[in-house]
Structure 1
Amino acid sequence: MLEIRNLCKYFGGIKAVDGASFEVERGSITALIGPNGAGKTTAFNCISRTLVPTSGEVWLDGQQIDHLRPHKITAKGLSRTFQISRNLADMTVIENVIVQSRVEGFSGLFRPAISPQEKDKALGILDFLGITRIAYEDGHNLSYGQKKLMDLAALLMSDPKIILLDEPAGGVNPSLMEEIVGHIRALNAKGLTVLIVEHNMDLIMRLSHKVVVMAQGRVICQGTPDIVRKDPAVLEAYLGGVLDAEAA
């Protein structure tokens, strides 16, 4: 479904992503992992065109998308979250979910701020995520974990075919982490394809169908969690030769 071909992103002499290539199969949960500074988030930013790649290609459903603007990529069915929530603090949760998800042009200026259809859809998504109770809470009143769930809700409003999740469980308590894992599995069971960056190796190894490992901007291994866990190059990339949550 998603194909990354020889992706490069250079910042002067720094090769943040250096010829990375991998595929995300339709209907899969694929994890992108690696030590700090491996280039994972930079690759995410290039795929979603938050950053313009230095070179390489990104293909979605047989169409090249690396030349498109971010909102056009979203319209093609690819949406992503960020490590740090981009919520608008003075807006309510439901307003954030709707406003952040819109993919439209100049014509959007001539319609109501929030339509009844958008409100109903947003409330349905919040209900699925179990956070209807905070629908009308201001963004600045939310906990870190609630912001993570709100970001996921906004992502789903655009009806994506594939979602890119950048550390969706990072910094949350174990209980909420399991809740987020459950949501990801439920969305995947409904046919949504997932590409995830996450440092919690226990979570990744039990959640993912496929794991892609980056180090120094390059893909050094890809395969099932069992294959990746035993690969010598992967063990070497993670200091101490041990692939676990602490080493990650």
Structure 2
Amino acid sequence: MLEVRNLCKHYGGVKAVDGASFTVEKGSITALIGPNGAGKTTAFNCISRTATPSGGEVWLDGERIDNLRPHKITAKGLSRTFQISRNLSDMTVIENVIVQSKVHGFGGLFRPAMSRDEKDKAMSILDFLGITRIAFEDGHNLSYGQKKLMDLAALLMSDPKVILLDEPAGGVNPSLMEEIVDRIRALNEKGMTVLIVEHNMDLIMRLSHKVVVMAQGRVICTGTPDIVRKDAQVLDAYLGGVLEEEEA
């Protein structure tokens, strides 16, 4: 469903992403992990075209997309969240969700700001995520975790084929984190393809079908969670201390 080929992003002499290649299979949950500065979020930015790659290619469902603008990539079926919520704080939750609706071209100028179909669809997504109770709350009144769920709802409004989640559980309390995990798993069971960046290793190992490990801008290991846990390069670069502590 998603293929990254020799992706590069350089800032002067700094190679934030340095020839990274990996695939995300249709219907899978794939995790992209690595230590701070490994290039994970930069890779996300290049895939979604919020940053311009210095080299390499990105293919979505057999079509090259790294030369497209971000809104065109979204229209092709790839949407993402960000580490820090980018909600419009002076708008309600349902308005923040509806603003992510598919563009209807010139004819959209003559449509209501929020059509009945869009309202119904947004409420259905909020119900799926268990947050209909905050549908009419202003964005600035939400907790950090609620903002994360609103971002996920807004992402789903565009009917994506692949979703990129950048630390969806970061900074969220444990009970709400489990709700987010359950919703991601439920989306995947409905056929959604997921690529996720997350520092919570317990969450990643429980949730993912495949793990891609980056270090210093490069992919150093790819495999199932069990394979990655035992890989010598991964243990040395990132997971060693964490796993030793867990096993102890």
TM range (shorter): over 0.9
What's the CA shift for 1:41? 0.2
Deviating runs (4+, > 4 A) in structure 1? 104-107, 244-247
Q: Distance in 2 between matches of 1:205 and 1:158?
A: 28
**1:156 aligned residue:** 156
**2:15 aligned residue:** 15
Change (3 A) 1:116 1:218: same
Q: Distance in 2 between matches of 1:139 and 1:76?
A: 28
Q: Which runs of 5+ in 2 are unaligned?
A: none
* Alpha carbons 2:5, 2:57 under 8 Å: kept: yes
What's the CA shift for 1:43? 0.2
Q: Which runs of 5+ in 1 are unaligned?
A: none
Query: What fraction of aligned residue pairs are identical, expressed as a percent?
Result: 85
Question: Secondary structure at the residue paired with 1:222?
Answer: strand
**1:81 aligned residue:** 81
What's the CA shift for 1:245? 11
**1:52 aligned residue:** 52
* Alpha carbons 2:167, 2:197 under 8 Å: kept: yes
Equivalence map 1:34-73=2 (5 Å)? 34-73=34-73
**1:200 aligned residue:** 200
Q: Distance in 2 between matches of 1:244 and 1:49?
A: 34
Question: Secondary structure at the residue paired with 2:177?
Answer: helix
Letter in 1 for 2:177: M
Number of matched pairs:
246
CA RMSD of aligned residues (A): 1.6
Q: Distance in 1 between matches of 2:138 and 2:112?
A: 21
**1:242 aligned residue:** 241
* Alpha carbons 2:101, 2:118 under 8 Å: kept: no
Q: Distance in 1 between matches of 2:244 and 2:202?
A: 6
1:125 aligns with 2:125: yes
Equivalence map 1:98-117=2 (5 Å)? 98-103=98-103, 105-117=105-117
What's the CA shift for 1:48? 0.3
Letter in 1 for 2:44: F
* Alpha carbons 1:4, 1:23 under 8 Å: kept: yes
Larger CA deviation: 92-101 vs 178-187: 92-101
Question: Secondary structure at the residue paired with 1:100?
Answer: coil
Letter in 1 for 2:241: V
Question: Secondary structure at the residue paired with 1:21?
Answer: strand
What's the CA shift for 1:100? 3.1
Change (3 A) 1:88 1:236: same
Deviations 1:125-160 (A, max 9, x none): 000000000000000000000000000000111111
What's the CA shift for 1:112? 1.4
